[in-house]
Structure 1
Amino acid sequence: MNPNFSAISLPYTAASSNSANFIVKIWCKPVYSKLPNSNTNTEWHLLSENRIDLKKLIYVGKSLHNTEDYFRTNSIILYLNEKAYVMPNSLRVAVAKIRSLSTTQRLNSTDRQNVSKSYDFDSLRSLNNLSNSLDELKHTKHKLSSLIDKHVESFYDETNVDNIKMVLGKLHNRNQVLEQSINKQKAINDSLSSDIYNTKIKINQIKELSSDKLNSVLDMGSNQLDFLESELEPIKESLENNVYPSLIEELQLTTKVIQEIIPIYNINNSVKFAIMGMEFPSSIKELLEVCYYNKKNLKNFNYSPTFDNEHDSHAFNIEQVNAGLSYIVQVITCLAHITNLHLKYEMVSDGNRNETKPIAYTLYYDHSKTEKVSGELSGSGRKYDLQNYDFEHGLNLLNKNLVQLINNVTDVYDEFKHDSRESKISNNIPNDCLDNFLWNLQFLILYITAPISQTEESI
């Protein structure tokens, strides 16, 4: 009551004890922080202390609605078995008046439950008066609330002399926070001063090094470079006079061995060549015409077979082309290996079949994988043309590998001879031999095995 606190249930131990006396202490926490010169170190303050004797309690009724004015400030009301009890010194009026009011409230509650279904004019007039009275009461309540708010604001006004303790408390707290911030900033400043001092020391050391020691370091580095150059010069001379010629000689001997194992020779001083005694087409176009349409019978210098029909002759020519491709792939792979040069398109062998990597394009002609396309598109006059896309693309990649190998080998020779010419030796290949595998291979082998002086003259 004044203020009105929430209901509090007593602990079980207190309620079940034989003692009829107990103490109720009410603590409050002000909206401002701890005041200066306070005797306690906590923000909670004792508002009131009440010693209650259950034997002296006075019964005041069951309902205490609208009876706040009948009790003194900070009165404590105990509800025992749904009945209200207070201490004798908590009442401002007689007990009988409170009990009669409680009884009247109960009767009014009962009457409201038994309201008649209709009203006469007097009842309506009374209700109208009550409504007006309630409106006036609400208006008065609003004005009173505004006055209370105004006085409460004056309570928090820092210019009010009565609030000097509260203002001092706030200033004291702000002062403590400010001192902590100052101490923290001082620590940061000390750390920065230490870093600045260390940085200045390092700058001075760098200046000393740049002014005193840098020249000596540069002199020492220059002497070491001169020493290294003097040491490298004999090594360069040894490489050029002994190591490189020895490597070239070994390369020529190895290439001659490859030439003896897989011989390539010219036929009748023409652009036609044979490998391992088997004639091989002189261009990719001629090779495809042999495989697709059997337009030409390839010579075999190892033996001269006879055929009963064109189908057997065509099959023999295809086998000779596949065998020649297999030997060509082996020669190119061996030359790339002994010259330690990397081919752009890797080539792998699987028995008598060869293909390129990483995308597999076959270097073995298989008639079953050949497709028929309309001959009208090519203008050949045939109803349809034959095409094996993977095989044709594999032949193009094989030719690119061979041209690349020729250029790389000549670059190595030019570097050995300190020749910085920009033109590629592949530019000297005749136009009708650009895709002649055996002509290009024979040209490369002769270039490698020829003496250095002759190589320079041929270039």
Structure 2
Amino acid sequence: MGLKQGGVKENCGGCYKLNKLQSVKFINLCIQQTQQQVESSLNSPSPVRAMGRRRSTLSVIPQYALPRLEEYDESPQKLCDFLELRLLTCFMTIHIRQKLIYVSSVAFKEMDPQFQVQLPHIPPFLRKCVVKLWYNESDSWNLLCVYKLDLCQLVEINKVEGDEDSGFKENSLCMELNSRWFTFKNMLVPDYVNQFTQIKRTWHTRSVPSYTFDQMRAINNLTKSIRELKMSRDNLKKQIRRYMMKLDTNNANNLPQIIDELEHKCTSLQGDINKIKTQIEATKRKIYDSRSEISHIKDVVSKFDGVQDMINDKLEIYNHELASTKEVTLSTKKEIKSKLSRFISVINEIIPIKPIATNIAATSSSNSNSNSSNSNSSSNNNSSSSSKLFSIAGFEFPLNLTAVRGICYYGNSTLQNIYYEPQFDTTGQLHSFNICQINASLSHIIQLMQAIACITSTPLRYKMIHAGNQSYIMEEDCKRYPILGKQPAATATIATTTTTTTAAAAATTAFARNPTFKFPLFYDPRDANNEKILTNQGTITMNQEFEYGLNLLLKNMRQLLICVREDIYDISGEERIPEDCLDNFLWGLKYLELLMTC
């Protein structure tokens, strides 16, 4: 890289972009300045003041050219000192907006190191960056120079042979962009900058002199002459055409013209004949292709009868197999239905579901006179709906979920059983007895649903864990706890009892291993989840976990009804499930029992 007279020219083509950078070369590197240069730098204004701007290309730039290596030939010690100051182990970094984007490789003991640059993907409009040069001294890396560059101020440098660094100051740099070398004016020595400012700019477009009046007249005359020549040419064409049409064929002098005309017509005729032959060949190819397709279609049609016979034979075989399969399926279904009928009869003997007679409902109404007015109205409603009241294993169960909540929360009704009719001294004892009967009935309902699902091979959506009167239902397809504003308990919520059965202990261990959410299918008046909520109509009691578990149990009941109706007994889904099954557990189980034993 070097300089010569006229070897530098301004960047007249616009701003260069940083993403075109290929390499950076540092020239005349030096760790410290000579004493003469320091004094001259102190006496002369800095490049920052000279430019009138705070930002400069280099933090410190000497104002005088460097001493040459020939000045140290007389003293070896000076030569060694010169080499220690000039031969540096260094590397450079490039920063954009105070972010490091590139680190070069290390150059060992070089005076004018050149670094190849491969920048990452950066925006194409960037033209400003900061280059930092680091050098190694006593096994430590120190910052030598900081260059704040604006590529819009670059000037181009031509490559020449000879002394390459005579025109640069200390710690200068050159940049290669698009295989062309550039530097900055404040990195050149003053003499060379003066030469640069005296270079004439010759890159502008040379103006073309305008036409004279004589030239304009000549151009107009030539244009008119050309127009007249075109008109004469057209007239001659018309005359020749007219004379050719009136050519006398009897005159022997006109034979050459007649022969030429005939030859022209023969040539045109031959061209038409060739076109017709080409069209005939194309038509023949189309005819051949059509005949091939027709022959192929005839072959297919001739073979169609055999294929049709073969298909008919296969259809007969398939119909015969389907008929036998249908017979086997029907017989299998009959056998399955008969077995299910026997199984459900046995299950009904173990856990019977029976409707409650009217007199029992009336007795229930008379025994509840000692309760509040709310309990009297509820028992009257029960007696009016006695056709829908059922008992499971002898225990009366409420008509729907609303009645279950009313008995558990407020004790506004009395449940009967066929075993005994105890007498209670207080309303609280009666309330506790009704809650125990509901918990026992729910336990029987869970056992009955599990038994029906087992004999019908119906996979229930929500897993139910039976543990005596303290059963649970699991929800496994819920990522968050389904009850808003609440968190699941760390351990299973189990009612406090005097004894703990083995089944309950096993269920608790299973819950501890299973990360899914569980909800109780029993009610405990002392449960921590019981809440008192104040409303406009007064205070109400609520246990959201218990109610959510009952809703999941009701979903299992509906799934069991749909599977048994459609898969086993071929009752289409268009036929609605009786509305009484939608909110009445015992009514739905009784419907399944009647469906499987009919």
Q: TM-score, normalised by structure 2?
A: 0.36
Between structures 1 and 2, the one with greater helix share: 1
Structure of higher RCO (CA pairs closer than 8 Å, 6+ residues apart):
2
Q: TM-score, normalised by structure 1?
A: 0.46
